[in-house]
Structure 1
Amino acid sequence: MKAIVNVYLKEGVLDPQGKTVHHALDSLGFKGVNDVRVGKQIVLDLEADSLHEAQKEVEEMCETLLANTVIEDYTVEIAP
């Protein structure tokens, strides 16, 4: 199975990298961008007996290591 984890800063947490990208896009003439938030994507190749088991295991990975849950949120997508 493949798990895709998207980690991103929580609303209200300053995102200086996102602000820099937003400014650069504006400087390059892309005027329709209202805001930019930069995150990370982690792709895992898993062995699991069920989608439920894989989801549970990946969420535990996120809570333990992959995301700093004080300042970051995450989403998990599991594909067989």
Structure 2
Amino acid sequence: MRKVTVFITLKQGVLDPQGKQVQESLNVLGYKEVQEARVGKYVELQVEDGPNIEARVQEMCDKLLANPVIEDYHFDVEEAVHS
């Protein structure tokens, strides 16, 4: 079993109204050093071992998890920790 962590963010140049609101709210709270905030998505998957894990995850991202037109993504694949 593998743990796949997918990080999805808006591409540079794409307006991020949620990030702008976070930045403005932090400024109001006194964190004036925050000049920009970008909000993204974090997805964690448990995936069965197989020879094409990276290619399959890339397909998942392109078809469902991310919108490749406006979002960038990267992912990490690691051994799942069983507890």
Q: The TM-score by the shorter chain falls in which range?
A: over 0.9
Distance 1:21 1:63 in 2: 27
How many equivalent residue pairs? 78
In the alignment, which residue of structure 2 is the partner of 1:28? 29
List gaps (5 residues or longer) in structure 2: none
Q: Please tell me whether residue 63 in structure 1 is matched to residue 66 in structure 2.
A: no
Distance 2:74 2:17 in 1: 22
- Moved segments of 4+, more than 6 Å: none
Distance (Å, rounded) in 1 between the aligned partners of 2:33 and 2:54: 36
1:41 to partner: Cα distance: 0.3
Give the unaligned 5+ runs of structure 1.
Answer: none
Name whichever structure is richer in helix by fraction: 1
How does the TM-score come out when normalised to structure 1?
Answer: 0.93
TM-score computed with the length of structure 2 as normaliser:
0.89
**What value does the CA root-mean-square deviation take over the aligned residues?**
0.9
State the shift of 1:48 in Å. Answer: 1.8
